[in-house]
Amino acid sequence: MVRTVGGIKKPFGDDRKKISKNSLSNVSASSSTMGGIRFDSSKLGDKIMGDGNSVIEKVFNFSRMNDPDLKNTRLHDSNAYKNSKLYYGYNTIQDTFSASSDVIDKLIEWRNSGDNTKWKWLSPLTLEEGDRTNYNSMKYYNLDGHNTSFLTDAHEGKVSIILLSPDEFLSLADESAEEWMKRDDKLTDKMKRGVPIDTPYLSTEDGNIVYGHEGRHRAISAKEAGIKQIPVYVYNRDKITPDMRRKIVNSPMTTLRRRDR
pLDDT at 92 over 80: no
What pLDDT score was predicted for residue 24? 30
What CA–CA distances, in Å, run from 77 to 62, 86, 257?
Answer: 18, 12, 34
pLDDT tens by residue, 40-84: 444 556 777 778 888 988 999 999 998 888 988 988 865 544 344
What pLDDT score was predicted for residue 48? 74
Give the separation between CA 215 and CA 44, rounded to whole angstroms: 33
Question: DSSP class of residue 256?
Answer: -
Give the separation between CA 87 and CA 92, rounded to whole angstroms: 10
What pLDDT score was predicted for residue 22? 31
176 contact partners, CB below 8 Å, separation of at least 6: none
Give the separation between CA 236 and CA 207, rounded to whole angstroms: 6
Give the model's confidence band at 190: pLDDT under 50 very low, under 70 low, under 90 confident, else very high.
Answer: very high
3-7, 29-33, 228-232 — most confident range: 228-232
Domain housing 232: 2-258
pLDDT tens by residue, 122-175: 999 989 999 888 889 989 999 999 999 998 898 888 999 999 999 999 999 976
- For residues 125 and 75, is the Cβ–Cβ distance under 8 A? yes
For residue 202, give the 3-state DSSP assignment: strand
What pLDDT score was predicted for residue 159? 96
The shares of helix, strand and coil residues in the chain, as percent rounded to the nearest 5, are 35, 20, 45
Say what the pTM is.
Answer: 0.80
What pLDDT score was predicted for residue 39? 45
What pLDDT score was predicted for residue 66? 80
For residue 172, give the 3-state DSSP assignment: helix
| Domain count for the chain | 1
